[in-house]
Amino acid sequence: MSENADQILPHGRVLRYPFLERLNHWIAAGSYIYLLLTGLAFWSPWCFWIAGLLGGGQISRTLHPWAGLFFFYAVVRMYGYWAPQMKSSESDKQWWRSLGFYIQNQDDKMPPAGRYNAGQKALFWSFFYGALVLLLTGLVLWFPERIPWSFRWVRYTSIFLHPVAALATIANFMIHIYMSVFAERGAFGSVIRGDVSLEFAKRYHPGWYEEIMRRSATPRK
């Protein structure tokens, strides 16, 4: 039996993330956390102890690029799953204008969001492009000795852009964790068990909620 996204489940719940999307999310999360920890070790001497904790500097250096490939693979899968849903809509501009209300938890004053609100869309795209930059610069940093001397500017660019892109994703990552674990209760469960309550859908994604309701009203073929 396969799971379908947006399928209404018993007890007033709706499936937000089918199994493969959840699995993929945790491939990304697991590899990202490893990349973050080893990356921080290489970022600052004050964090180099983390590399020791994870088996030493050599092991961290060896596995960091491979974890990067896993992460990028998962991000590409995410693109396949979610990119169509992440297209910006008219109400997104309105959403950004009302960001202050969102921050102050006055969600009733927010324009109704669809399956994803504008902030989530921005998070998705900055993670996507961040991962792309990290991959390209990371490949250069993986094999710096293979870059000919006359192309050393490629190394110079990569060594700077890699941490810049990493910092951008770290900002995303912190907001992502905060929103999903602390701010929106029920969001974390959606990426573990896959479902959210209809209450949750109605509260945070009214557009999506209406869509589900409309679809459930029309009989399936």
Partner 1 sequence: MSQATLRVQKISGHAGSVPGEDTQRQFTVAKLIDTTTCIGCKACEVACVEWNDMPFSATEFGNSYQTMPETRWNYWNLILFNEHEKEDGSLMWLMRKNQCMHCAEPGCLEACPSDGAIIQYTNGIVDFQQDKCIGCGYCITGCPFNIPKFNKETKRVYKCTLCTDRVSQGLEPACIKSCPTGCLHFGSKDDMKELAETRAKQLREHYNFPNAGVYDPPGVGGTGVIYVLHDATQPELYGGLPKNPSIPLSVKLWKGPLKWLGNVAMVGGLIGLFVHYLRFGPKDRDEELKDSSEGVKP
| Residues of the shown chain interacting with partner 1 in the complex, contacts defined by CB under 8 A | 8, 11-13, 41-46, 48, 51, 56-58, 60-62, 103-105, 107, 141, 143-145, 149, 152, 155-157, 159-160, 163-164, 167, 170-171, 174-175, 178, 182-186, 197-200, 203-204, 213, 216
Choice between 1 and 103, CB closer to partner 1: 103
Q: How many C-beta atoms lie closer than 10 Å to residue 77's C-beta?
A: 17
Choice between 26 and 49, CB closer to partner 1: 49
Least distance from C-beta 1 to partner 1, angstroms? 21
Least distance from C-beta 44 to partner 1, angstroms? 7
Least distance from C-beta 77 to partner 1, angstroms? 27
Tokens 């945070």 belong to 204
CA dihedral 17, 201, 126, 164 (to 10 degrees): -100
Computed over its alpha carbons, how large is the radius of gyration of the chain? 20
Contact yes or no for 180/173 (Cβ under 8 A)? no
Choice between 2 and 104, CB closer to partner 1: 104
Least distance from C-beta 126 to partner 1, angstroms? 14
Cα 65 from Cα 140, distance rounded (Å): 10
Choice between 2 and 44, CB closer to partner 1: 44
**Assigned token pair, 13:** 């719940």
**Assigned token pair, 15:** 């499936």
